[in-house]
């Protein structure tokens, strides 16, 4: 069977894309508004795109054209954000921050999360997250009337000390992080079933 995407509605394309391109890492994005209001929200259309320069990106699907979510408004206003990763122990708190709260609701307070100042930007990071990336806005790519891709330049990375095998060689204990990935719908997966496959020589 095949699907011609030009014949499908956006929601039908979303169902096919989000249920097959899995698992997807989750960008748990923390921002601050121009008036100092904190915000945290998860986005599963997310990945890393380069190391020189170091770029991460996530995609926001707005409610309607012109009715931007708090994260998008804050990033556009301040040019800063933090991408925090979600581990198994933070799954429920992440789910709380996924709630469609209105502007002015502090997701840190609603979810019981702890914020702490970043080192290079004004947006706070999530203390409980095992890994956080402080980012400055690189550019925003408008993908359509509802969706935009936000690309950020990583300034500083924070990682919990016990997740480093050898800091001097930059070896991370990836399996120990137990990072949560998004599947389809309300499905999630823990990335701890890791195995090696040796590359073949030509």
Share of the chain above pLDDT 70, in %: 98
pLDDT digits (tens, 9 = 90+) for 41-61: 999 999 999 999 999 999 998
107-156 pLDDT, tens per residue? 888 899 999 999 999 999 999 999 999 999 999 999 988 899 999 999 99
Query: Within 13 A of 114's CA, how many CA atoms are on the CB side?
Result: 5
Q: Which two tokens stand for residue 21?
A: 């391109």
Domain span including residue 179: 9-189
Question: pTM here?
Answer: 0.92
**175 inside domain:** yes
**133 lies in some domain:** yes
State the pLDDT at residue 65.
65
Residue 51: name the closest of 172, 136, 149, 153 by CA: 153
pLDDT score recorded for residue 145: 83
More confident residue, 28 or 109: 28
Q: What is the CATH number of the domain that holds 107?
A: 2.30.110.10
Domain count for the chain, please give it.
1
Q: Is the residue at 201 inside a domain?
A: no
Cis peptide before 53 (omega within 30 of 0): yes
In a domain, 112, yes or no: yes
């Amino acid at each position: 069977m095949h699907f011609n995407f030009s014949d499908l509605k956006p929601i039908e394309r979303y169902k096919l894309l989000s249920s097959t391109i899995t698992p997807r890492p989750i960008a748990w994005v923390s921002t601050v508004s121009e008036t100092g209001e904190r915000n945290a929200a998860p986005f599963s259309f997310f990945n890393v795109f380069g190391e020189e320069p170091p770029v991460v990106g996530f995609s926001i699907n707005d409610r309607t054209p012109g009715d931007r979510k708090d994260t998008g408004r804050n990033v556009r206003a301040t040019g800063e954000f933090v991408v925090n990763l979600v581990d198994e122990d933070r799954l429920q708190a992440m789910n709380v921050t996924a709630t469609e709260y209105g502007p002015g609701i502090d997701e840190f307070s609603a979810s019981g999360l702890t914020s702490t100042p970043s080192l290079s930007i004004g947006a706070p990071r999530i203390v409980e997250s095992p890994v956080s990336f402080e980012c400055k806005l690189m550019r925003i790519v408008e993908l359509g009337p509802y969706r935009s891709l936000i690309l950020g330049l990583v300034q500083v990375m924070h990682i919990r000390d016990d997740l480093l095998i050898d800091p001097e060689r930059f070896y991370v204990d990836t399996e120990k992080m137990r990072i949560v990935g998004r599947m389809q719908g309300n499905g999630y997966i823990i990335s701890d079933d890791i195995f090696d496959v040796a590359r073949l020589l030509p």
